[in-house]
Structure 1
Amino acid sequence: MSRVGFFLFALFASVLLVLAAPVPVQDGELVDLEKRLTRVGRGTWYYPGLGNCGKRNGDNDLVVAIGKGLYDRNKGSNCDQWMEIVNTANGKKAYGMTRDSCQSCGDNDVDMSPALFKKISTLDTGKITVSWHFMNRSWKP
């Protein structure tokens, strides 16, 4: 009988530990773990227009398109969310607002407006390696 009692106690304790796991909160707001992930991928530039987020932007706006697969999985929830982008070759950092999705981009890739790309490289470069992550939803530069 003591083995059964010990087993039930261990099972009950395990369930309580799982339920008591902390929920990530930042500035009083629940944090999606996906949005804290730093990704490393390809950085390119494009001429923005009317993006998937339903807003029109131009070449001088600091906007970015994320991979279509990531955009679709997140159901566009990253629209108007800022991200920090770092050129891994030179360490230059810039901030861009998510306004579109990129059909040819993978989950780790970003496509930037010319103005944003120029903050971390030259347009002649065309393609660079970047690390990036989403900022807290309430963050603004």
Structure 2
Amino acid sequence: MFFSTKAFALIVASLTVATQASPTPEAAAEAQIGPTHIGDATFYTPGLGSCGRTNNANELVAAVASPVFDTFPGHTANPNNNPICGKTAVVTFGGKSVTVTIVDRCPGCGSGGIDLSPAAFQKLAPLSQGRLSGTKWTVQ
């Protein structure tokens, strides 16, 4: 068979596009829900948070590490307008998980830390444990 230079270039381009690697399922999921953070989970008594909402200790809410809160895509100088506000995060420790709503910023948390309401913390461990090292959490 004989192909013109143009036809040959079109065939090569089509094959190149068709054989390019697709993202892994993990990469595709991360692009939709954000990266998994690993750090310490602690607990605090919620009140008026950085998102401009007032919450209490019985709600399943959290304050996320400042580096995450402050660099969340679309954030502005006004923390009340941060797009992370109101999003949920799945927090996992020791084979247990809890889904929390992000309502605050945690300036004392390490870069991968999360501060949970007492109600949320107790879904993972007793309050007497105080700090859960190696906790994983992902913004949904």
Regarding TM over 0.5, the answer is yes
Secondary structure of the structure 1 residue equivalent to 2:100: strand
How many Å separate the matches in 1 of 2:68 and 2:32?
10
Q: 2:97 matched to 1:102?
A: no
Match of 1:122 in 2: 126
Q: Which residue of 2 aligns with 1:56?
A: 54
The alignment's TM-score, normalised by the length of structure 1, stands at 0.70
Q: Which of the residues 118, 131, 136 maps onto 1:131?
A: 136
Shift in alpha-carbon separation, 1:21–1:118, aligned structure 2, 3 A? same
- How many percent identity over aligned positions? 31
RMSD: 2.9
Please give the secondary structure, in 1, of the residue aligned with 2:110.
Answer: coil
Gap runs ≥5 in structure 2: 1-8, 24-28, 76-81
For structure 1, which runs of at least 5 residues remain unmatched after alignment?
A: 1-8, 24-30, 136-141
Moved beyond 4 Å, runs of 4+: 20-23
Count of aligned positions? 115
Q: TM-score, normalised by structure 2?
A: 0.70
- Radius of gyration: which is bigger? 2
CA shift at 1:115, angstroms?
0.3
